[in-house]
Chain A
Amino acid sequence: MRRKIIAAALALLLLTLTAGCSAKGGSTYEEGLRLCKMVGEIAGDSEYISSFYSESSQDVYGGVYDIAENIADGRYDRPEKVYSIDFPDISDLISSLGEDEVPRNYRRWIRSLPDEDYDLLNIRFATSAISSINSGLETAAVSLSSVCSIGESYVDRDLEGLEIYIYSFRDGVPIAVFFIPGEDGAASASAVPLLSQELDTSTERRLENSLEEFFSPLDRFDVSKIDIP
């Protein structure tokens, strides 16, 4: 009897602790896929899309509804391939630009940054770089890619640093998802559709090549395939 009560009390204690202050981790892949589906859903919400674009801005944003429809028509419940992108960091950028092209003060500043600040700067660098794949496109596509992007916080205890996944779909646009670790096992994820036709996501090697082309002279992109469960 006594033992049973203690066991029950202990179980209760454990339960409260986990319920109150921490949570079980979900997988990075699953969270990313969830956001990909949301991107498709947002693009298909014509009420929402039209709230951004008035009749009078049609000449600037011409074609915006076609692009939205093209995203929304895709099927995002199962990716064909998922790649993990190891993005070069700022020191790599400096060395590939050539030391002479980067002001000495700047180089010194980068080197002097505490690890934490350097990591943060790298996260901002890599995420804005990947999002900038859209920036060379026509105005409507650039604007729509940000209108359809979505982020949320979730629990991911295994995440140790920035992860960038690109999900490619047989029928649908490729979507980049950034995963950024926070505190206590919490993390944030955000997804942005990649609308450039130049991005070839058919194989690791081809994706690597198109990234190198986009970000020349930056190289050393490391693309690896993620197993789809």
Chain B
Amino acid sequence: MKKFIAALSAALLLAALAGCSSDEDAIERGEELIRQMAELAGDRDYVEYAVSGIFNSSEVLEKIAEGDYDEARHIYRVTLPDMDDIDEISGARLDDLTDTVANKLYRSIPTLVERSISMRTDSSFYVTASYISRGTTYVDRSLKEPVMYFYFYRDGNPAVVNLSPGRDGAVSMAAYFLPEGEISGSGEDSLRDDLEELIYDNLDLELDLEVKELK
């Protein structure tokens, strides 16, 4: 009997691990989206019919498409602080807002960060990159706060994959390419400092980010 229960517990554990290993699963899904975006960037027809007309977009996309996105050199996970630890966002005090609005603002932080990085030198990169951005929704009950995964490649543009918790365990994931050389991929501390400064300058927000190098 003991053996049976042990086997059952093992199976139980295995099932739980296989289905829900959060980071590993997210990284793989993110990589898939990044490859799809690179493919789109290299699709001449798509660029001509769906993107054309945007200032120097074809140059930007060509450059992205030339990269090699099979394997990232570094992957970092950046976790936002709990919403209760944030006083205000974009000049609005969270306490003065309804829960719906406070939540909406809180969940928009990763998008705002991604946008700020893309627009650091000029806004055209952001516009172009958003034409090939890809996203998905799936189930991950373990996700509590919004998370950003940063991917850096030896040869290619860096990318960010934002993951945001929804309801009943549903999560939404959105991937974007970033311009080269705008954020540091050379270590946890430098990425954290870089992002915190960017958030302070652009969003007028003092955040303590948790940065972990996963690869």
Instruction: Give chain A's interface residues, CB within 8 Å of chain B.
Output: 2, 5-6, 9, 12-13, 16-17, 19-24, 26, 38, 41-42, 44-45, 47-48, 51, 105-106, 109, 112, 121, 150, 152-155, 180, 182-188
Contacts and interface: CB of A to CB of B under 8 A. Distances in A.
Contacts of B167: 26, 152-155
A180 B135 CA distance: 11
Contacts of B20: 20-21
B16 A16 contact: yes
Interface residues of B, number: 38
B163 to A, nearest CB: 10
21 contacts: A5-B5, A19-B141, A20-B16, A20-B20, A21-B20, A22-B139, A22-B169, A45-B100, A48-B105, A51-B90, A109-B49, A121-B50, A152-B167, A153-B165, A154-B166, A182-B136, A183-B136, A183-B138, A184-B138, A186-B138, A188-B170
Secondary structure at chain B's binding surface: helix, strand, loop or mixed? Answer: mixed
B214 interface: no
Nearest to A152: B166
Interface string B67-102: 000000000000000000000001111001110110
A26 B128 CA distance: 36
The 8 nearest A-B residue pairs measured at CB: A182-B137, A153-B166, A21-B19, A153-B170, A186-B170, A153-B172, A186-B137, A183-B138
A24 B168 CA distance: 8
Given A5-B1, A6-B4, A45-B98, A150 B137 contact: no
B1 A2 contact: yes
Interface string B100-138: 110011000000000000000000000000000000111
B171 interface: yes
Contacts of B49: 105-106, 109
B172 A21 contact: no
A155 B11 contact: no
B82 to A, nearest CB: 19
B8 A154 contact: no
A23 B139 contact: yes
Nearest to A151: B172
B57 interface: no
Contacts of A180: 137
Given A21-B19, A48-B92, A155 B168 contact: yes
B8 A9 contact: yes
Interface in B1-21: 1, 4-5, 8, 11-12, 15-16, 19-20
A154 B170 contact: yes
A121 to B, nearest CB: 8
Given A12-B12, A45-B100, 18 more contacts: A2-B1, A17-B16, A22-B169, A24-B168, A41-B98, A42-B100, A44-B98, A47-B92, A48-B101, A105-B49, A150-B100, A153-B171, A153-B172, A154-B168, A183-B136, A183-B139, A186-B170, A188-B170
A21 B45 CA distance: 39
Contact of B139 (A2, A51, A112, A186): A186
B185 to A, nearest CB: 28
B162 interface: no
